[in-house]
Structure 1
């Protein structure tokens, strides 16, 4: 494992994964290989040898004996993976951890690998033939798993040796493996031979969670396992209801998107992205299940059948429920399929009275009752689809899972839902949900009635900060296994008074995490820094210094750690030319960051997802950052016509100074930092944030998002127990003065001449160069932090009075889009 990644507290006595062989280099295989490379594992990626050279190879005189021909399939797949967006690798340099080869020449090498993952085409005969060859070379005891999305384990393992069977199971990743958190673990349980060793399952459950950052869900060997069984049923039933109600494609995608805590793609766009043929293939297997009382729900709706006949499969064929086309002016437009006429029409914006009524409800769980009470078509759609999903899930217990929490974990992690089916049901009330189902002429499983008869009114509850689920056999609540070490702020907060919340305002809360550590959580829109958040941060430091020994800054937001400063107040003061107020705002923001940096207790910041502007500056001024692997960090102020002035420019100048070594080309280091800020570059991962110097080598990168706050707390405890000493303000920052300014001005002038940037971009970059180089100094020299902070503030104040800066801020505030004027 790489030292950059968080280590487990314990390691299996019998297994350490250093090398993984991935058999099959298609979309899933190459991306699974990439994710193992992300976590520091050496990977062997293999695929078949082509039957003959293609035309280009023949023109070069190559034959099937040539390595270029023999490895063409794997090489092409690997290059496709490298070019794909979003990126599969945390860093492009991690590609060197993947070795390419083919089954004929390189399969024998699997003897030296710790884990073999089969990801070949979804055909039982093909998979079995691969296993036959694997057994010739596989070392006894080596893990062997399949990424099948639905073929039963007992069929795959038929005819295999006892050792193979004991170390074999399903490991079903969801696409794209880096970003979707679900990893389904499916043990082999079959009367014809040994089952999967329980120690193997325990190991994979732990490894998937800790090293791969996955929500690992233990599944039964049933058709579709858990996520696809529930997810495909929901997708097809949604399409069926849409057709029945006469709803448009755009209307359904609006109703099934972020408003109900699901991805922006909604239902029909998701179908296009996944590929309609994939959905149909999975549904075709599921509709055959004679034991499923609702198997008719997998029968294809009319629009799906028509699309399949037309071979309009979605993105892979250029059209499905949507397609791109050119209008009369040559401009690209998105067209949506009319489900009645089967013609494409320009996509229309959607409005429903029910949705309008929920705009002010930020809490997703409080939104559901309002949506289901709607008196328009939206309300009817929600009542029909939610009732169907609820009742279907109840009847799948214990068939696909003995525990209801596994169903919610699979659907949220596999399909990107913020809350699962039973969590949604809890939000509207279990009795209300039963009434909803019965109103549609259906009934949930008997265990739901038994639960209510016993006086139990919810599927989940929180006890002492830990989430518990209703266990059906024992008719009692149990803590969700594997979550005991997590710190989930939502569970500490609760709906009413909480002993863990020691202070709060409208935008933030301060929690006592135990062991002398406080946590400041902000909950403003996109977690932007406004007055409420700033007040909480200053209060948190003061409270920690007085009665505690450390402070964590972290939150559970799904969207952003922080999108930066709240620009509304700045815009108001700048438009009114109240520059004294602007100057005071900047000074206060700088003072807050310096308060974090020079507190008498350690401050640990736990960034994740979007960490922009002021959010990035908070990370820069921490004693340690504990970052989730999916952290997209950057100083992006130039996008609104400003420069970083919360200590961000100062801190990056200081980091450049610290990186200088004797004989190093100092300006190259500073130039890279300057260009990152000047172009508002945002890292695509925490690893890239480290390469951009927004994270230090001493900062941690954690793969499992659920463990982020707990790991940050542990870092604060360690800093305190190791004898934390309050740092002193710096006076030793080496800056380049006129030498650096001249170099940077030459570069940005060339960019302006090439029309890569506008005149206003040029002006902003000039200001940035002046500050990061320490001003108009005659030669390189050392300066203090205060000196650079003053330069930052002056440049920011000057730019805030520019008309084009105000236009940029206004564009972002009113339309949510950056303006490059």
Structure 2
């Protein structure tokens, strides 16, 4: 049976329900969001003379919840206009509308009786065969569909989204005892392809997989922290990005999520896990109990493990809880010997191994928490999952870990770690010993270019399912598919006669090594392949050009070298544009400055939905000079229709660059002109490189021909210069911009106008590139520009001077 999801009904408009509704709206689905009707009027409604039957009153709860969600940051929706895909209503008046919906998702209070009561009403209206699911995080799935019809039970499952649904990749699928296999298969596939999720099949066990393991890791770690007398800031520094976990670390994450949420899950697990050998670790540590008693739940209550004090003069002071007194003290900036020693280790796998084996208090903390978690996870198979890779997938996608427990165990060396675990009293499950006795020394291995995991039942490696449609660079590295590399970039054979270029500099900045890599990759592709994909698996596609070399040359006033650098970068961008084979760029997350310019010059862009793209050079006192200013002027020009001057639209493009406007999604990037109609968006980042390769093949098979330089770019000279100058002067008089901002803006205006031309004229790309380079070069001689670059390089923050 072919199943299409065109309409989704979300029952419950709380934080989770509204955000799930927004994410379905993000992908183009029509959504009906329902909640209860108010039982009494508010004071404002009474003053207006409204009644409980007034339409605005009946939907007050759902409308307010949705409005609050849409105004929250980070935004749950790709573009504001997408909210128009959501219709609101209430349970009393609108449940009959469910007969027209393909999927009904319940997201109400975690109370079995209330859920069952709602499902009884829903069954009167849902159409046979429609999907129905619950977003519960704790109530057993098999209990919720009791006493429902056979069709209801066959189409019912748990679909546990993690909050916030737009940003966290995990979607746990939990079948009920009667759920049809084809329904499970559909949910797994739909979550992956359409919702961009890491879909993980779970058993109907308490807290499923991610929360069972993730909350255990948190609670066990806090017990260890209290035993070792460690502090809040110290622990957050140790448990953040340095070991491949969320930047916020342990305690800041708890404050953001809300300690009450974690407490609820932990208490429930302690109550129901009577046969769990580590049940006592779910008991609330003293620190958590004290915060709970004081209702210091984190950001939602204003106090948690941290407390931000805002003084009357507008200044802020961050404090942290002192575990010895449970009062707040100034937040510490701890000096940690292990982290200082690991600073030079860029490779995360090597850094994790170094830190866990470091002989000091930090290393001891890592060993205690890592070994305990390894033991616990080994004992959860087959209880919560038959296969170990599901635990890694769920924890990584749900909690933002770079590597899951079994992956970390592999990094440390399974056999050596088991010996250390035994010494510390953390003996793992028997199947781990059976694996080692069989001569298998790791949980994962790349075999014939495919990722395999140790399958406990067969005592052998099996291919990790679901990766057939992905291109994973880590796997290609292990399969010896690298064909060239330098310090900043690598080229891989992606298969099907397509090669891929990966950046691996700090923040994937575009320095000399990356420029060399781009030229080398294009040369190889033109010589022996159908085309090239430029993309990577780093946290960000590229934060822009490497400013360090520019700063050095500018400080020495070596303008010839700067001119050569800019010319080389421009030539590289133009080579991407005018290569004889298709070049597809696959940006994700940050694609700033030069990263944006490279995307602008691709034949096609295969963007990830989470794309923060923009030309941000004005923030460091410069203008885009890698073809970015030229390209945005060209795109404006080609959008003009006969007789359409539309200088106001040119001014919009100018303002986007002059204010360093960055998109908050790929959809917004298209609205800003950074993406074009021909470009595509991948909702699942793991599919992005494979989909980019497919675009290369599509262009090749269509008979790709090398583009020609455009010589028909319409610029307006004095007319647009006058318009820009009026705006710049007005903003300067209003103190919205500094004098240096105005100087930069005038340089930008000069390029986009084509210079001081007396009338509208058609110019070439080469002409605008020369203007770009001249403007950029002149700004590198400005003291205030150097101050801005210095602030970014050495303080990590933009300077407005």
Whether TM-score is above 0.5 comes out as yes
Corresponding residue for 2:234? Answer: 251
Corresponding residue for 1:355? Answer: 339
Matched, 1:539 2:527: no
- Partners of 2:535 and 2:261 in 1: how far apart? 39
Q: Which moved more, 1:410-419 or 1:371-380?
A: 371-380
Which residue among 185, 191, 196 is the counterpart of 1:202? 185
Which residue among 768, 788, 798 is the counterpart of 1:808? 788
Corresponding residue for 2:449? Answer: 465
Which residue among 36, 39, 59 is the counterpart of 2:47? 59
For structure 2, the residue ranges without an aligned partner over 5 or more in a row are: none
Q: Which moved more, 1:64-73 or 1:275-284?
A: 275-284
Deviation at residue 780 of structure 1 after TM alignment = 1.4
Deviation at residue 669 of structure 1 after TM alignment = 1.8
Matched, 1:444 2:428: yes
Question: 1:334-483, aligned counterparts within 5 Å?
Answer: 334-483=318-467
Q: Cα deviations across residues 727-771 of structure 1 (Å, max 9, x unaligned)?
A: 111101111211111111111211111111111001001110110
Which residue among 121, 125, 132 is the counterpart of 2:113? 125
Which residue among 544, 555, 580 is the counterpart of 2:536? 555
Question: 1:65-80, aligned counterparts within 5 Å?
Answer: 65-80=53-68
Which residue among 113, 137, 145 is the counterpart of 1:157? 145
Corresponding residue for 2:495? Answer: 514
Deviation at residue 442 of structure 1 after TM alignment = 2.5
Which residue among 489, 495, 520 is the counterpart of 2:473? 489
TM-score (norm 1): 0.97
Matched, 1:568 2:551: no
Secondary structure of the corresponding residue to residue 791 of structure 2: helix
Q: Cα deviations across residues 552-611 of structure 1 (Å, max 9, x unaligned)?
A: 111111x21011110111111111111011111100000000000000001000000100
Question: 1:78-117, aligned counterparts within 5 Å?
Answer: 78-117=66-105
Corresponding residue for 1:236? Answer: 219
- Partners of 1:630 and 1:436 in 2: how far apart? 41
Corresponding residue for 1:5? Answer: none
Matched, 1:500 2:481: yes
Question: 1:597-616, aligned counterparts within 5 Å?
Answer: 597-616=577-596
Q: Is the 8 A contact 1:486 1:709 kept in 2?
A: yes
Deviation at residue 271 of structure 1 after TM alignment = 1.1
Which residue among 290, 294, 298 is the counterpart of 1:306? 290
Matched, 1:316 2:300: yes
Which residue among 229, 252, 267 is the counterpart of 2:250? 267
- Partners of 1:453 and 1:367 in 2: how far apart? 29
- Partners of 1:145 and 1:136 in 2: how far apart? 16
* Alignment coverage as a number of residue pairs: 800
Deviation at residue 375 of structure 1 after TM alignment = 1.8
- Partners of 2:231 and 2:383 in 1: how far apart? 35
Secondary structure of the corresponding residue to residue 422 of structure 1: helix
Secondary structure of the corresponding residue to residue 541 of structure 2: strand
- Partners of 1:329 and 1:729 in 2: how far apart? 57
Which residue among 561, 572, 583 is the counterpart of 1:581? 561
Runs of 4+ in 1 over 2 A off after TM superposition: 326-330, 662-665
- Partners of 1:503 and 1:603 in 2: how far apart? 18
- Aligned-residue CA RMSD (Å): 1.0
Deviation at residue 330 of structure 1 after TM alignment = 5.0
Q: Cα deviations across residues 522-553 of structure 1 (Å, max 9, x unaligned)?
A: 10111111111111110111111111121111
Secondary structure of the corresponding residue to residue 362 of structure 1: coil
Matched, 1:523 2:507: no
Matched, 1:138 2:119: no
- Partners of 2:771 and 2:313 in 1: how far apart? 48
Deviation at residue 327 of structure 1 after TM alignment = 5.3
- Partners of 2:216 and 2:269 in 1: how far apart? 9
Q: Is the 8 A contact 1:352 1:376 kept in 2?
A: no
- Partners of 1:655 and 1:410 in 2: how far apart? 43
For structure 1, the residue ranges without an aligned partner over 5 or more in a row are: 1-12, 190-194
Corresponding residue for 1:666? Answer: 646
Q: Cα deviations across residues 667-686 of structure 1 (Å, max 9, x unaligned)?
A: 12211111111000110001
Deviation at residue 465 of structure 1 after TM alignment = 2.4
Corresponding residue for 1:798? Answer: 778
Q: Which moved more, 1:204-213 or 1:356-365?
A: 356-365
Which residue among 564, 571, 574 is the counterpart of 1:594? 574
Deviation at residue 328 of structure 1 after TM alignment = 8.4
Secondary structure of the corresponding residue to residue 287 of structure 1: helix
- Partners of 2:181 and 2:122 in 1: how far apart? 22
